[in-house]
Amino acid sequence: MVTLADLQVRQLGECRHISPLGKYVAARETNDHYVDENDRVLFDDTLRLVAAHGVPLAELPTLEPGGPRQKIFFPPGATRAGIVTCGGLCPGLNDVIRGLVMELNIHYEVSDVVGFRNGYAGLVPESGLEPIALTPERVAKINMQGGTVLGTSRGAQDPEVMVDRLVELGIDILFVIGGDGSMRGASRIAAVARHRGLAISVIGIPKTIDNDIPFIGQSFGFQTAFTVAAQSIAAAQVEAQSAINGIGLVQLMGRHAGFIACYAALANHHADFVLIPEVPFGLDGDSGFLAALERRVAERGSAVVVVAEGAGQDLLTDVRATDASGNKRLGDIGRYLEARMQGHYRSLGRELTLKYIKPSYSIRAVPAKAFDSVYCVRLAQAAAHAGMAGRTDMVVGRRHNRFVHVPIDTVVSHGNTVAPDGDLWLSVLESTAQPAEMR
């Protein structure tokens, strides 16, 4: 159970400088544009969950609200910021970079913003990757393209060396855009700076296309990802319906969480089966997946199967290798299911037409769609507000439709997954009419 202590955000020191954002509220009778420093956002949103803590109101787990403060820690016009993007690609990376540069430069008078190239490797001098200057003119149109203009990479670097580099370049605020591994790296950078007594703010903007980071609502790029994924499911249905005993198999992202598979399937109701990491399934026997698939094809003439990349790993030969980020390499569940489905129909002596679609890289590379573009800009603004106010070792996100600050240690303490007994998975079962259990 999360406690109030788990949600306390570190601060570099007292905020003494008047925020330049005052010009936006100068004509108002009240300063409603600013965040009340004494306000908090409730972590839980139901009476049952609140009551379960059994503590007084002041001790309930609450989050620090995001947004601009009347007074800030870093002096406007005399602050230098750095931005780094880490890990895999995701729609919206360039939108976040652009949003940060615009907010810092135009509203906080931070004209010196640099981008570190190719992830954390760009913070290590021996890589030879010099940072690039990020100006409003340089980033003006980057939101119209996919990927990240800064480049990215996987893998950790020595935090002591990275802090040395930040000191050498005079960086006051480092914005890290990445997944849970990148956030752990950001926390290590913040810890080294804190140990040395350095007033360096480290602000994380969580990026995970799988939507598997907890406590922050949806991750940026997620809506774009499942929208594009839904188009692949629609294509699979067309292929399946146009063939004898047609099956469309679509493998989507989702190492540990099946959110994209679930949402994409719900977006158009074309999927007959959705297979995700959180819900184990078996293939053989009358109650297994292959028999259920056979019955569905017999009833409707075709079927569409959506599978998350991390689903059914227990069915595959153990894969022990890891990638540069330390993640276990997954077996190819899509190819395995393709082979098993073909083998099943051969054993029945029946014709099968199977189309396998794996659109992961084309999904990751697209520019953000309108909703995500807006979300990215607002996350970037919230991150800039937090950094200028001297917060550190934290991420920005949205909970209960409010922008909030969450300590990195809490965010990476566990993953966000689809609850097998939750309402999202029930919606999937209702939409697909697949058996609740296939074992």
Catalytic residues, which ones? 210
150, 89 contact by CB (below 8 A)? no
Distance CA 75, CA 83 (A): 19
Q: Which of 165, 159, 209 is CA-nearest to residue 186?
A: 159
Distance CA 42, CA 52 (A): 14
Q: Which of 76, 175, 167, 52 is CA-nearest to residue 116?
A: 175
Token pair in block for residue 89: 């690609």
User: H-type helices in 325-369, by residue range?
Assistant: 333-348, 360-364
- Count CB neighbours of 439 within 10 A: 12
Q: Which of 325, 330, 245 is CA-nearest to residue 293?
A: 245
Helix (H), strand (E) at residue 79: none
Beta bridge partners of 397: 404
Token pair in block for residue 343: 């083998």
Distance CA 145, CA 158 (A): 31
